[in-house]
Structure 1
Amino acid sequence: MRTRPNGTFLRVNATFASWVGYAPHELLYQRRFQELLTVGGRIFHQTHWVPLLQMQGSISEVKLELVHRDGTRIPVVLNAIVRKDGEPVHDLAAFVARDRDKYEKELVASRQRLEQLVHELATLHEEAKDRALFAEQMMGIVSHDLRNPIGTIRMGAALLERTAPAARPVIQRLARAADRADRLITDLLDFTRARLGGGLTASCHPLELHALVSAAVEDLRLAHPTRVLQHRALGSGACEADSHRLEQLIGNLVSNAVAYGDPAHPIVVESSIDPDSFSVSVNNRGAPIPKELHERLFHPMTRGSQGGSARSVGLGLFIVQEIAKAHGGRVDLSSTEEAGTTFRATFPRTRG
C-alpha cells in the first residue's frame, strides 16, 4: 500500500482491504492509515512513526494492531519507506502476525512461569537451609545432651555390679539397654549426616580383618546373651578399612539377625579375604524375605516383616549400605528357605 505523508491511502491491495473489512475503493483517498489502528497505535503513529520516518526515511519490523470494521483486532508487522520521486509518499508492507503474536504471548507466559519457578526455588532453598540448620542443632542435642545421661547410666551400672552382686542380672540388662540407646543415637546421627552431607565418610587404615570381626562378635555375644553367635574366618591377610565403621556395620547386621532370625539357630558372622576384595556377612535362619522387598529394606525407616521383637526405627540396614558406599563397596542380600538370609558387604581390599 502507499499513503501520503498524512496517511491518506493512495494505493491498497485487496488483501489488506479484506483484513480490515473494507473494499479497496472505500479506503482510497477517503481514509488514512492511522484511522485503522487502535487508540494506542494512533498515539504511537503520531509520537514515533511519523518522526522516525521523517528522520530515518524508513521503519522496519514494527508491530501494531489493525482494527477490523467489526471491531476485531488483527496483529500485523509493518515496514515502511519514504519515496521522494516527486511528491513524497510512504510505501508500506504489512503481514499478519497472529502466529508471532501467539509466540510472543507464550514467551511472556513462559518468562512469568520461569520467574515464578525461580522464586519458588529460592523459597525452597531457604527452607532447606533452615531444615539443615535445625538438623545440625538436633545433632548437637542428640550427641551431647542424650549421650551424657547414657554415660551416667553405664558408670552407675558398672559401680552397682561391683557393689551389689545379687543385682547383677538386672544391672546387666540396664547396661545392655544403655548400649542399645547409644547405638540408636549413633544410627540417628549417621542418618542425618548421610542425608545432609551426601553420605558417610570412612577413615581407612590397614587392619587385621579376622581379629577385628572376632572381637566384635565377642562383644555382641555379651550384648545378646540369649543368642548363639558364631564367627567363620576365610582367607588371610590384612586389608584397609575404617575399623569403627566395620564394627558398626557388623553390629547393625547382627542386631537385624537377632530381631528377625529364628532364635533356635545360630547367627553366623563370616569374614572373608580374597586377593582384591574382602567381605563381611551375617547369616540367620528363619522365614525368607520376599524378593520384591529386598531393595526396599535398605531405605530408611523400613523394617522387615518377619517375626521378632524389633526395637529399631529402621535405620540399621540403611546405615550398613552407607558404610559400604563410604568404602567403595556394596551390600548384597540373598534369602532362601534352605540357606537362610545372608547380608554380605563386599569392599575393595585396598583404597586408592
Structure 2
Amino acid sequence: MPTESLFDSAACALAVTQEDGTILRVNLRLCDWLGFSAAELHGRRFQDLLTMGGRIFYQTHLAPMLRMHGSVTEVKLDIRHCAGHKVTVLLNANQRQEPDGVVYDLALFGTTDRDKYERELLNARKLAEALLQEKTATELALKQAQAELSAAYAIAQRRALFAEQMVAIVSHDLKNPLTAIRMASDFLQRGERTAKERQLLRHIGQSSERAHRMIADLLDFTQARVGQGITIKAVPLDLHGVIEHAVDELRVAFPTATLVHQAEGHGQACLDADRVQQIIGNLVANSVAYGDLLQPITITSRLGDNACAISVHNHGPAIPEALLPGLFEPMTRGTDQGSEVRSVGLGLYIVRELAKVHGGDVAVSSCATAGTTFTVMF
C-alpha cells in the first residue's frame, strides 16, 4: 500500500508541522475530527487550533520540550472544532530532520473511550473506598458490641456467682434450725398425743423432710456450679442392701406410694452409699410427684460383671417429648402436678451430676403405655 494511503487511512489523526507549528500536511481523520478540510488546515499553525490554555501550554512547555528532547508522549490537549466545541486528544510528537529543515510528526488519539475507562476506574475506586470505610465502621461497631457484650457477660457472671454463693450460704445455715425442728418433732411423737396432734406432728416431719431434700439439692447444685464439684467417697458395698435400706426409709417419707424393690445379679459395687441413696431418693420423689400413685413404683438394682445400674419405674402420663432434651437441666419441671412433694427443680440435675462423678450417666425412657423409667449406669 502506498505511503500516502497509509497516512490518510491511519487509525489516529496525523499531522506534519514546521518547527514554528505551521501545518504542512494532515490526514483525513484529523479533518473529520475538527470539521475542516485539508486545504483549510494547510498553512495554519497547529497551536492556533488549540484552546487558550492549550496555546499557553504549547508555548511554555510543549514547544520547548520538542526542541530539547525531540519528542513528547501522551500530552493531553483540547483542540477547537470548527463548530466551536472542544475535542480532547492525546498528543504524541516526534522531531525529524528534513533537507529543508526540522519538522514535527504529530499523532493525535481520541480520549473518549479512555476518559470513560478512567471514569469507570475512578467510580470503582470510590465504591471500593466507600465499601472499605463501611467495612471498617462495621468492624469497629462489632468490636464495640463484643466489648459491651463481654462486659455485660462478666457482670452477669459475677451476679450469678454471687447469687449461687448466697444460695449456698443460706442453704447451709438453714440446716441447723431444720435439724432442730426434726429432732423436736421426733421427740414429741414419743409421748402420748391425741390423733390431731399426731397428724400435725406427722405433717411437720414430712415438711421438714421435704425441706431437708431441697436444702441438700441446693447445696449440691452450688457445689457443682460454684465449688470444685460434687465429691464422693466410693467404697465396696452391697448395692442390693443399700437400695433396700433406702427404699425402707422412702416408704416412711412417702406413705401414699407403693414402693417395690427388685434385685438382679450378685456381687459388690464400688460406690458412695450416701450418694446412691440420694439418687434413689430424688428419682422416687420425681416418680411420686409425676407418676400414678395407684400403681407401684419399682426400684431395681442390677449387678453385672463389669457394671451396675439402678432404675426407678413409675406408671402414669408420659413425659412430653419436647421436654426430654432439657430434662436433666436445673430448674426444669415436666408439669405443675405433684406440687406437694416435688423439690426446687434440681432433683434430676443432681442425679445426673452424681452419676457423672461415679463415672456413669443417666437415661430416661417414657411412653403412655409402658410408663417412665430412669436408669443410672455406673
Same fold (TM over 0.5): yes
Aligned to 2:208: 178
1:25 Cα deviation from its structure 2 partner: 7.6
Q: 1:307 to 1:117 in 2, by over 3 A?
A: closer
Count of aligned positions: 274
Matched, 1:125 2:183: no
The equivalences for 1:143-222 within 5 A come to 143-144=172-173, 146-166=174-194, 167-196=197-226, 200-222=230-252
Matched, 1:229 2:259: yes
Aligned to 1:265: 295
1:199 Cα deviation from its structure 2 partner: 5.7
Query: Which residue of the other structure, out of 215, 239, 243, is the alignment partner of 2:273?
Result: 243
Q: 1:23 to 1:186 in 2, by over 3 A?
A: farther
Please list the CA deviations of residues 15-36 of structure 1 after superposition, one character each: whole Å capped at 9, or x if unmatched: 9x9xxxx98789xxxxxxxxxx
Specify every segment of 5 or more residues in structure 2 that has no aligned partner in the other structure, as ranges.
1-60, 66-71, 79-85, 91-118
Q: 1:75 to 1:135 in 2, by over 3 A?
A: farther
SS where residue 218 of structure 1 aligns? Answer: helix
CA–CA distance in 1 between the matches of 2:133 and 2:368?
Answer: 66
Residue 331 of structure 1 aligns with an amino acid whose one-letter code is V
Q: 1:153 to 1:235 in 2, by over 3 A?
A: same
1:201 Cα deviation from its structure 2 partner: 4.1
CA–CA distance in 2 between the matches of 1:108 and 1:177?
Answer: 61
Aligned to 2:345: 314
The question of whether the paired residues in 2 share the 8 Å contact of 1:13 and 1:24 is answered with no
1:306 Cα deviation from its structure 2 partner: 8.2
1:303 Cα deviation from its structure 2 partner: 2.3
The question of whether the paired residues in 1 share the 8 Å contact of 2:167 and 2:222 is answered with no
Residue 159 of structure 1 aligns with an amino acid whose one-letter code is F
Aligned to 2:304: 274
CA–CA distance in 1 between the matches of 2:264 and 2:314?
Answer: 18
Q: 1:107 to 1:272 in 2, by over 3 A?
A: same
Residue 131 of structure 1 aligns with an amino acid whose one-letter code is A
1:224 Cα deviation from its structure 2 partner: 1.3
Percent identity over paired residues: 36
The question of whether the paired residues in 2 share the 8 Å contact of 1:259 and 1:309 is answered with yes
Aligned to 2:94: none
Q: 1:297 to 1:110 in 2, by over 3 A?
A: same
The equivalences for 1:41-52 within 5 A come to none
Matched, 1:106 2:135: yes
Instruction: Name the stretch that deviates more: 163-172 or 192-201.
Output: 192-201
Q: So what's the TM-score if we normalise by structure 2?
A: 0.62
CA–CA distance in 2 between the matches of 1:75 and 1:108?
Answer: 22
1:164 Cα deviation from its structure 2 partner: 3.6
The question of whether the paired residues in 2 share the 8 Å contact of 1:75 and 1:101 is answered with no
CA–CA distance in 1 between the matches of 2:180 and 2:74?
Answer: 99
Aligned to 1:142: 171
1:104 Cα deviation from its structure 2 partner: 5.4
Instruction: Name the stretch that deviates more: 291-300 or 147-156.
Output: 291-300
Residue 242 of structure 1 aligns with an amino acid whose one-letter code is D
Aligned to 1:286: 316
Residue 184 of structure 2 aligns with an amino acid whose one-letter code is G
Q: So what's the TM-score if we normalise by structure 1?
A: 0.66
CA–CA distance in 2 between the matches of 1:173 and 1:13?
Answer: 106
The question of whether the paired residues in 2 share the 8 Å contact of 1:286 and 1:340 is answered with yes
CA–CA distance in 2 between the matches of 1:300 and 1:181?
Answer: 18
1:216 Cα deviation from its structure 2 partner: 0.7
Q: 1:119 to 1:296 in 2, by over 3 A?
A: closer
CA–CA distance in 1 between the matches of 2:282 and 2:87?
Answer: 89
Residue 132 of structure 2 aligns with an amino acid whose one-letter code is Y
CA–CA distance in 1 between the matches of 2:311 and 2:223?
Answer: 25
Residue 180 of structure 2 aligns with an amino acid whose one-letter code is T
CA–CA distance in 1 between the matches of 2:364 and 2:163?
Answer: 35
1:134 Cα deviation from its structure 2 partner: 3.1
Residue 322 of structure 1 aligns with an amino acid whose one-letter code is E
